[in-house]
Chains A and B, each alone.
Chain A
Amino acid sequence: MFVIEFVFLIFLVSIFAGIFGAIVGLGGGIVVIPVLTILFGVDIHFAIGASIVAIIGTSSGAASTYVKDKVTNLRVGMFLELASASGAIVGAAIAAYTNSAALGIIFGSILLISLVPMVIKIGEEIPESPELKGLAKRLGLKGSYTEKDGRVIEYNSTRPAEGLAGTAVAGVLSGLLGIGGGAFKVLSMDIAMKLPMKVSTTTSNFMIGVTAAASAGIYLARGDVDPLIVAPVALGILVGAAVGARVLLRSRNTTIRKVFAVVLAVAAAEMILSALGVLP
């Protein structure tokens, strides 16, 4: 294949990845990595390097819309970034002493198990808002956003410590494998903190750029970020993220939850299959 075709095809795939990544709050890496490795035969190191750029692009590209429209909860995001940023450093520190195949199977299985609460809540448009108390109250972890039909959704959050713990797992996973943090961030906000689905995915989307930037240094230093691969990935992702953000704002929470559940199942399967050596 000639390089110009390769670059154009990667651009098209990345648009698709950006749309999905922006909606589910995971950042497009789960599309970019298997497409680059399986369809284009790109080495996994370059694919992960491209995925880091894809995640940062989806995050910043979509968040510019989500933040302006106040769907992202800035305080929740910044509070949880304490855990994801610390976790990423811990993950980097213990990476040499861990078995990445075992990790993939363990974390992949946790994601599969977390499909259960997702499916149980599959028809839930807006969760019953918990009483704001304790740490969540002191940290101001509440908010409101406006739906496309003009309804103002006011919500509180609960169990910030559990949210922090789940996000720390997300950070460790990103530091260890370079991938996979977004799913744990969405699950922490959805299952533990009881935020509306849109708030969870857009706040995760807001945070994953910082987590990915935290690990960008090592991938740059190793030479894993190839300009020829990341140029079409970045451009496609930015186009896709802009489209995805508009789609999310017009979608129902129940629709986003269904899409997220499917993507979660695919992400878990990808993680387990690559740990088993079936996928690159």
Chain B
Amino acid sequence: MNLRDPDSMNVVIGKVLRYGVILSGVIIILGTVGLIASNGLSETASYLNYNPNTIPHDGIDIDPAGLFHGLVTFSAFSWIELGVIVLIATPVSRVLISVFLFAAEKDRMYVLITTVVLCLLLFSMLVTPFIPGFHA
């Protein structure tokens, strides 16, 4: 594919988004099937009251070691979590790849714009949750 062709940007970004949602969807389906197979859905709903400290399977494990352990031990919840993380990463990948696509088009203005957007996005996702006083 010729990346200087103005249409190639639409093709590439469309594919990044499509593969991202398909991958995420497949992983979440596997996790959900695993959950049903392990009879994990037979109890009554316990998460209707918000209390992250007392509900065993509440919240996505963002600790990489904990998530990895869950994946290799085939915890259905961990696989669903991985699928959700892939879904969240999809728009981030789209911004990252746009930087390179604009660079291939030699469009300096948009290389700058998308790089700034990427930095703001990563700062927002990875840094602001840990700044005291942010997010009320």
Q: Are B21 and A235 in contact (CB under 8 A)?
A: no
Interface size for chain B: under 10, 10 to 19, 20 to 34, or 35 or more residues? 35 or more
Stretch of A184-192, A222-230, A265-273 with 4 or more beta carbons under 8 angstroms from chain B: A222-230
On whether the beta carbons of A56 and B90 are closer than 8 Å, the reply is yes
- Which of A42-50, A111-119, A194-202 faces chain B? A42-50
List CB contacts (< 8 Å) of A92-144 with chain B.
92-93, 95-96, 98, 100, 138-139
Contact partner, B90, options A6, A60, A85, A223, Cβ 8 Å = A60
Q: Which A positions have Cβ atoms within 8 angstroms of B?
A: 1-4, 6-7, 40-46, 53, 56-57, 59-61, 63-65, 67-68, 70, 74-75, 78-79, 81-82, 85-86, 88-89, 92-93, 95-96, 98, 100, 138-139, 175, 209-210, 212-218, 220-232, 234-235, 238
Find the A residue at minimum CB distance from B89.
Answer: A213
Tell me the nearest residue of chain A to B133, going by C-beta.
A96
| Residue contact B45 to A92, C-beta cutoff 8 Å | no
Query: Which chain B residues numbered 30 to 73 have a C-beta less than 8 Å away from chain A?
Result: 31-32, 35-36, 41-45, 47-50, 52, 57-60, 62
Q: Is the CB of A78 within 8 A of B117?
A: yes
- Tell me if A's interface is mostly helix, strand, loop or mixed: helix
- Please give, as numbers and ranges, the residues of chain A lying within 8 Å of B130 by CB-CB distance: 221
Q: Are A214 and B125 in contact (CB under 8 A)?
A: yes
Q: Which residues of A contact B126 (CB under 8 A)?
A: 217
Known A-B contacts A43-B49, A67-B17, A89-B123; A213 and B91 likewise in contact (beta carbons under 8 Å): yes
Shortest beta-carbon distance, B118 to chain A, in Å? 9
Give the most central of B13, B18, B92, B124: most A CB within 10 Å.
B124
Cβ-defined partner of A220 (8 Å) among B42, B60, B98: B60
Contacts A4-B36, A217-B129, A235-B32; is A226 near B123 (CB within 8 Å)?
no
Closest-by-CB residue of A relative to B80 is A227
Residue of A42, A216, A232 ringed by the most chain B CB atoms within 10 A: A216
